[in-house]
Amino acid sequence: MNAAFESFRADNNIAAIAAAYCLDCIDVARANFQMELDGSDASVELVEQMLAQLHDQLPAARPTQEQIGAFAKMSGSYVGEVFRLKHGAEWGIVRLGETEFPGMRSTADGLQFWPWERAYKRITEGAENNIWHYYVALVENSDGSAPT
């Protein structure tokens, strides 16, 4: 894609929102799932377990789109913040064509990714959007290592 079609600009406001959502995710994991998210690569697998439970409970729980979106932002922010702190990335606004939305860019290779969207898809669409597998692929593509 050419630069006019695809672009990224760092955004401190998105970074601050993601940092706050990340803290919320840690609190929700502890209070509602009895999980301790410690900021490690491995803790992202716990987020996958939370999202799997939410997906399985969707039919009975019938959450609103706003509730699903808020949980996706919380869990996606946690995943993004772990990646940012462990492997280097920045939050910002991604532009694809005429559409702009929050995302991230790896500082190692410029790879752009969207943890909020992936978390949303994991909740609403199911296991084919496994966020742990997504995270592992991001790490391997970014720095060539496997998450520890």
- The domain ranges of the chain are 6-142
One DSSP character per residue, 93-138 reads: EEEETTEEEEEEEETTT--EE-HHHHHHHHHHH-GGG-HHHHHHHH
Return the pLDDT at 2: 43
Residues 6+ apart with CB under 8 A from 84: 90, 91, 104
Give the DSSP H/E element, type plus range, for residue 77: helix 65-87
The fold for domain 6-142 equals: Four Helix Bundle (Hemerythrin (Met), subunit A) (1.20.120)
Residue 36 clears pLDDT 60, i.e. is over it: yes
CA gap 67, 127 in Å, rounded: 20
pLDDT of residue 133: 97
Mean pLDDT of 47-58: 96
Q: Is the model's pLDDT at 3 over the cut of 90?
A: no
Q: Provide the whole-model pTM.
A: 0.92
